[in-house]
Amino acid sequence: HTGEKLYTCDSCDYKATRLEHLKDHTRTHTGEKPLSCDSCDYRASHLSNLINHKMTHTGEKPYACDSCDYRASQLTHLKLHMKNHTGKKQYACDSCDYRAARLSLLRAHMKTHTSESYSCNKCEYRTGNFNKLLIHKSSHSDDTPYACDSCDYRTRFLNHLEPHMRTHTGET
């Protein structure tokens, strides 16, 4: 327990105080992914990655933005989102007035001006991000598997049901 880093990676300068940490690190070089999701084909090299992935199946989003109703399954996603509230939108679209805090958001937006954009077949919605299109398309679906026990409220998303349930208990 001296904090001395006794274990050294053979492939880079990484050093660890515990052998199991070195073994975990070594997977970044080997690509080994021994952990698997029991709901899909996803495989992970580290337990933390698997835990974060599993939240995509449950809809759990424990990280909440203080400035709006955005919620995230991972802290890193919330931190990226928070850049939208700082006012530092340094990336500007050449074709319209859109500005973004992150280059990846600008790139996705730019696709809306080209044939690379994705369009909803039920309304005028367009996006440069295919995953956002899938989420949007679900808004047209009548499939609402999550139901409130106390009233007729139903939703497609588990993370929408939980805040609704709190309206019956008075919790915030």
Using one digit for the tens of pLDDT, what is the confidence trace for 138-170?
Answer: 777 777 777 888 888 777 777 777 778 878 777
Residue 171 pLDDT > 70: no
Residue 8 pLDDT > 90: yes
Q: 147 and 160 share a domain?
A: yes
Q: Give the domain CATH number at 39.
A: 3.30.160.60
Q: Write phi, then psi, for 136 (nearest 5 degrees).
A: -60, -45
Provide CB contacts within 8 A for 93, sequence distance 6+.
99, 100, 106, 109, 110, 113
Range of the domain at 115: 87-138
Q: 92 and 134 share a domain?
A: yes
Residue 132: pLDDT band by 50, 70, 90 thresholds? Answer: confident
Which position has the higher pLDDT, 164 or 33?
33
In a domain, 46, yes or no: yes
Q: 127 and 147 share a domain?
A: no
pLDDT at 19 (0 to 100): 92
What's the mean per-residue pLDDT of the chain?
83
In a domain, 22, yes or no: no
pLDDT at 1 (0 to 100): 58
Q: 98 and 123 share a domain?
A: yes
Q: 134 and 145 share a domain?
A: no
Q: Give the domain CATH number at 164.
A: 3.30.160
Q: 94 and 128 share a domain?
A: yes
Predicted TM-score (pTM) of this structure: 0.42
Nearest to 109 by CA among 121, 100, 122: 100
List, for residues 50-101, the tens digit of each pLDDT value.
888 888 888 788 889 888 888 888 888 888 888 778 767 888 988 888 888 8
Q: Where are the beta strands (DSSP E) in the chain?
A: 7-8, 15-16, 35-36, 43-44, 63-64, 71-72, 91-92, 99-100, 118-119, 126-127, 146-147, 154-155
